[in-house]
Amino acid sequence: MGTQKCRIAELRKEAGLSRYRLAAMAGVAEKSVRNYEAKGIGNARYGAVKRLAMALGVPMEDLEEEE
């Protein structure tokens, strides 16, 4: 598997959402959103990733992209 780059920040900004708002919509801590944006979602729980994707209106696969 190749190196992954997280797209959460890009998708969040496109949706016009703050980290706080996205976190509230996805039911995760704002600190978690910040960490996922900085470090990727490789160690995130499946449920959290699924809720983030739903809040952003994208498939889970769209949260990371191949570099």
Q: Write the DSSP string, 41-65.
A: STTS-HHHHHHHHHHHTS-GGGGEE
- Residue 60 one-letter amino acid: M
Percent of the chain with pLDDT over 70: 88
pLDDT at 1: 35
Residue 2 has pLDDT above 60, yes or no: no
**pLDDT the model gives residue 42:** 87
pLDDT bracket for residue 22 (50, 70, 90): very high
Question: Are the CB atoms for 41 and 11 separated by under 8 Å?
Answer: no
